[in-house]
Chain A
Amino acid sequence: MLRGITNTIIILILAPFLCSELIRRKESSALENYVFGLAAVWALFEVISVPFIIASAPFSVLSTVYSVVLALLVLAGSVKLTLRRKKEISDKKDFDLRSLLPWIPVILLLLAQCVFFVMFQHYDGDDSYYVAQSTITLKFDTMFRRDVNNGFYIEVEGRHALGALPIWISWLSDMSGLHPAIIDHSIMAPYLLTVMYAVYAMFSGRIIKDKKWRPVFVLLIGLWYIHSNVSLYTAETFAYTRTWQGKAVFANIIVPLAFCLVADIYSRTKNTLPLCLMLSLCAVFCTSTAVYMLIILYGCAGLVLGCAAFIKTKKLKNALLTLVPFIIASLPLVAGGVIYLIIRR
C-alpha cells in the first residue's frame, strides 16, 4: 500500500507541476502554476474521456491513451522547465524561507485538517455513487455503462457521463494500484483541501496588495470554513464532508478559481482567456451541472463589467466588447450542454 500511496502522490505532484510549464504565465507564482497545472491535467482528461464515454469504449483504452498523452505533456514540460532554468540561471534569486513565516499559522491549520481527514471518517450516502462508480469502472472496464446500485448493464448514464472525475479516480487507482475508496477518502480529501487553500492563497494575491495581509485573509477563510457547517447544503459543509465528490470540488475549488480569473479579466491581465477555457472544461469534469452554473457566473461577471464599462464610457459598443471574454470562456460549457442534451435524450 505504501508503494501505491507514493505513486499517487508522485502523480498528483509531478504531473500538474510539469504540465503547468506548458501553460504558465510569466508573472505567475509557483503555487499558481501548480493549480493551473492540475486544472490542465483535469481538462485534458475531460477532453479525451468524453468521446470514449459516449462511444462506450473500454476504460482500459482510455486509460492507455490518457497516460500516453499525459506522459508526453509531462516530458515536454520537463524539457521546457530545464531550458527555462538554464536561461534564468544568471538572474536566479535565492528563495527566501523567511517569506513563508507569515504563512505558518495557515500551514498549521491546514496540516491539522489534513491529519483529521486521514484519521477520521464521515460517511456520505452519495459516495455509494461516486466511489462505487470508480470501483465499477475498474472491475468491468466500462464507463457509465453499469448501474452503480446493482452492477447490471445499462445504457450510457447521460446524467453523469460528462462529469468524468470518478473515471479519473479509476485511472489514478489503475496507475497506483490503490483501491478507489482509499484514494478518495484517504488521499484526495486532504489533497483537495490543500488545493482549495492554495486557490484562496492565489485569490488573496489578486485582491490584497500588501503581502503581509494575504496569510491573514487565508487564515480567516480557514476559520470561516470550519465554522460554516450551518446546514447540509453549504459549499463549506461539502468541502469537509464530501471533499472528493465532483460537486464539492466544483463549489470549493472551481468557483474560487473562476473568481480569480474573473478578477484577472476585470484587471485586464494578459493570457487569461486560455485559462478560462481550461477552467470551463474542468468545471464540467467535476459535475455536469457546472455547464449551467458556470455560465451563470460568467454571465453575471460579464453583465457587471459591461454595466461598469457603459457607466464609464456611455458607449454600448464598449460595454458589449467587455462581454467577449466571458462568451468565449462559456463556449466549452455550451458544447458540454449540447452533448449533455444529446446523451440524455
Chain B
Amino acid sequence: MDTIKATLLTLKSYNSLSLYFVLFIAALIYLGIAEKDRIKRMLFVALPLALLSVFLFPVSAWLSMHLILDQEIYYRQLWLIPYGAVVCYALIHAMQKCQKVWARALILLAFAALLLIGNGKLYMNRQYTLAENPYHLPQDVCDTCDMILSAKGVAEMDYAVKCAFPASMVEFNRQYTASILTVYGREAIIERWNYDTPFLDLISSNEPIEAEKICTMADADQIECFVIENDKTLVGDPEGYGYIRLGETGRYTVYMIYWLLE
C-alpha cells in the first residue's frame, strides 16, 4: 500500500497541477483509436503504456524504490515515457487527417492555448538571471576565491588552503576552483541530510558573531581561512586570535591564518 501511495505521489509531483499528463493521456487515447500503422501503434501507444505500467505496477515500483533506484529519484523512471513525442505526433496525425487549412490552424491554436493555460512556461522561470561571467557563477564567489588563491603563502607555495565558506558560497566555490579545500560542502546546507556543521551554524547566525569564539572554533577544526558575509556583525578583532583580515569583495570578507600571510 505504501508503494502504491509513493508511486502515485511521485506521478503527482512529477506532473504537478498541469495539463502535462492529461495531454499525454488524451494523445495516447487518440492514437489508440486513430493510428492504424502497426509500427507507430507499437511505438506511440503500446510502448508508452508498457513503460507507464512498469512505473505504476507495485512490485516493479517496490523493487525500483527499495533495491535499485531510491524513492527520492524514482521519478526518473518517468523520463523513459516520451510525453512530448506522443503528444506532438498525435497533433501531426490529427492535422494530417484534416484537409481544411482552418481545421489544422484550429488544432494548432487549441494546442498552443492548452500549453499556455495549463503548462509551466520556461520563460516565466524567475531563477534565470543575466550571466555575470562565462563561468555562469556569482562574480563575488569568483573574486573571493581569487583573493584567497592570491594570498602570499597560498600563491607562493601552491598551498591547498583549508577554508570554511558561508552557505551562500558552498554550491559555487568548488565549481570555480579545486585548489581550495573546504571543511564542508553542499551536503552541509541540505537540511534533510542533517549534517552537523557547528562552524557553518556560527557564521550563518543572525546574532553578532564573537571573534574569539569563531577563531577558537576555526583553530580547533584546523581551518586556515574563513569567509563571512558582509552583512554579519563581528564583535572583536580576529587578528588578536591569529586570523588576519585578507580583504573584502562585494559580498564577503576573508580572514586567513597569520602564517599564510607572513
Contacts and interface: CB of A to CB of B under 8 A. Distances in A.
A123 interface: yes
Interface string A293-316: 100110011011101100000000
B194 interface: no
B171 A150 contact: no
Nearest to B135: A181
Contact of A300 (B20, B50, B134, B188): B50
Name A's interface SS. helix
A296 B77 contact: yes
A58 B46 CA distance: 47
Contact of B174 (A118, A151, A233): A151
B175 A132 contact: yes
A130 to B, nearest CB: 9
Contacts of A151: 160, 174, 178, 180-182
B254 interface: no
B187 A149 contact: yes
Given A182-B134, A186-B136, A308-B46, A224 B84 contact: yes
A289 B67 CA distance: 12
A140 B178 contact: yes
A227 B171 contact: no
B127 interface: yes
Nearest to A236: B84
Contact of A138 (B129, B174, B178, B182): B178
A66 interface: no
Interface stretch (B87-95, B199-207, B224-232, B233-241): B87-95
Interface residues of B, number: 79
A84 to B, nearest CB: 31
A231 B40 CA distance: 29
Contacts of A251: 76, 79
Interface in B168-210: 170-172, 174-188, 190
B227 to A, nearest CB: 15
B101 interface: no
Nearest to B75: A233
Nearest to A307: B46
Interface in B66-120: 68-69, 73, 75-80, 82-85, 87-89, 91-92, 95-96, 111-112, 115-116, 119-120
A279 to B, nearest CB: 14
B79 A255 contact: yes
A216 B115 contact: no
B14 A300 contact: no
A108 interface: no
A220 B86 CA distance: 11
Contact of A132 (B43, B129, B178): B178
A127 B171 contact: yes
Contact of B92 (A119, A220, A225): A220
A300 B120 CA distance: 30
A223 B23 CA distance: 14
B77 to A, nearest CB: 6
A259 B85 contact: yes
A207 interface: yes
Given A149-B182, A225-B84, A308 B160 contact: no
A10 interface: no
Interface stretch (A11-19, A35-43, A68-76, A261-269): A261-269
Contact of B50 (A138, A226, A230, A304): A304
B246 interface: no
Nearest to A235: B79
Given A181-B136, A296-B77, A136 B178 contact: yes
B16 interface: yes
Contacts of A300: 47, 50-51, 54, 80
A231 B115 CA distance: 14
A52 interface: no
A233 B13 contact: yes
B20 A234 contact: yes
Contact of B178 (A129, A135, A229, A267): A135
B157 interface: no
A132 B131 CA distance: 19
B1 interface: no
A129 B14 contact: no
B220 interface: no
A150 B181 contact: yes
A120 interface: yes
A325 interface: no
A205 interface: no
Given A149-B182, A228-B120, A308-B42, A289 B127 contact: no
Interface string B1-29: 00000000000011110101000000000
A132 to B, nearest CB: 4
A139 B172 contact: no
Contacts of B188: 149
A146 B134 CA distance: 26
A296 B121 contact: no
A132 B89 CA distance: 39
15 contacts: A1-B134, A120-B130, A128-B186, A135-B178, A152-B181, A185-B137, A186-B136, A213-B96, A227-B120, A229-B125, A230-B20, A233-B13, A289-B76, A304-B47, A307-B46
Q: Which 6 A-B pairs have the closest CB atoms?
A: A149-B185, A185-B136, A139-B178, A230-B18, A229-B120, A121-B136
Given A135-B175, A150-B184, A235-B78, 7 more contacts: A119-B131, A121-B130, A216-B95, A217-B92, A233-B78, A234-B14, A289-B76
